[in-house]
Structure 1
């Protein structure tokens, strides 16, 4: 296996980690409107992800940085062609981070309500747009012979990509509901279980449709295996949450995300950005990669830094592992 192949796999792993971790805190952000009944419950939901949301976003920065360094042509074409959707995601992530930090700075209900609205919408919009973006990556976009994206915004809003956006929205919200049930106590935990079960059924229907479409149009034997793992894991997650086994359900929903991302990257390889105009104009792991020397230096750096990051993030989750409930909210008015 060549170094550019290894870095394609590593980038897939980074995106898997990002969607697994950021997926549930996007879901929790959406649940602040769907599940929480009052301000105290909204505080409970926000507090479940308060210590970890910023660390989860590090995976996105790492995935973007790795793409820029390992596959500069892929990075350039992707970020120029998908400029508006990615800009919308970036703005949402900025506003969402500010909302987490500023929401409790003043006690006025209107001030807190406005930041809570920002958390909801800035969680929902990226959850949809990531699915749309990856749907277009797999489907193929208008790339010309000079590796330039020559399509428009409307070209990105095709049925396959929009279905992908619905899948990521429902899957992340289901993932977040299971995480909420895992991290809370009392009535909110019971309602999170019930909502997670309903969301799981909807997610399963949409996911089977999207993954089947992907398999029929671009899949092979290995992607079929990944699809089977994703579908079975999602079914197991739904059954587990119905039985009240939040830990198993959360682990299986994570496996669903990992298998689904693996399937998408398996259908891409050896392309990184297929051209819908001419297959010969597609960006591949070969023609879009950096020099072997650059990839070698990156491999050494990743080998040293990655274990340290994983240890630190794992320690963070261990420290903040306990469940919380409204009884832990000292004064719901502030």
Structure 2
């Protein structure tokens, strides 16, 4: 018997990816329900070869639903996740609302799948930030091998991380440049077409942005609270795919060849690392793929026991939708939840 799964925020970029990935990976479902806000009721979305009509989140009865994959924003998650969890339905939430709650597991299955068992306190599991997800997938096997002391990461994050509005703004601004129309910036604080913006999310009192703070605290919660990490997060004019330049300092020696061999065996990782023109992965090639790609592994000569690497992943998939479905698979495969009996 399969699981009844609801997807909240089904009309957004990540919600649609969730539906696609549930179908692609043949997650054992008895029924899939698409949920959205009032303005999207009746909107059609695809699930495999089926067409689903969106229903209203506010009026949906979760009492016979097993899992809710939620990508409806932080405000909705804060209001609805506890209500949904109270019905016995496990919420896997993609927003930042519950990530740092001590009673809510923050899970990347390749890194800390065992933590998922802690969902029972609130029936909520949090998905990490998209930039954190790929980072910890890359760091985990190296941390196990040589113990990471410090990480310096610079991100190059695609506009899809800001939702459909971000993608639309890059498209419209790019078109405006070519036809000499005036450029409008609504979603981003500065022009994004043919430009870079060294700000993602709001600024905090210490001068870091909230996105940079998320990478620090989420990595500590998922991987190891002793790791020191500093991040600079940059929005780039790429539609899909986040890239990261990562400098890692270890307690113990680890050569580039050893790191390469370790990463080749690591779950969720693909190493493409030829030291020649084009012998690396870019976000264009990673779009639509499930793996976290690692390239350009080399020594960092400025510190003892240091490595540098390049990390690329599809932020809509591993950074969001795929990770959520993988968490659902952990719940099912480990029999942490069983399907509810259908109401008579």
TM-score (ref. length: structure 2): 0.31
> Which structure dedicates a bigger proportion of its chain to strand?
2
Instruction: Decide which structure has greater helix share.
Output: 1
- TM-score normalised to the size of structure 1? 0.31
Higher RCO, Cα 8 Å, sep 6+: 1
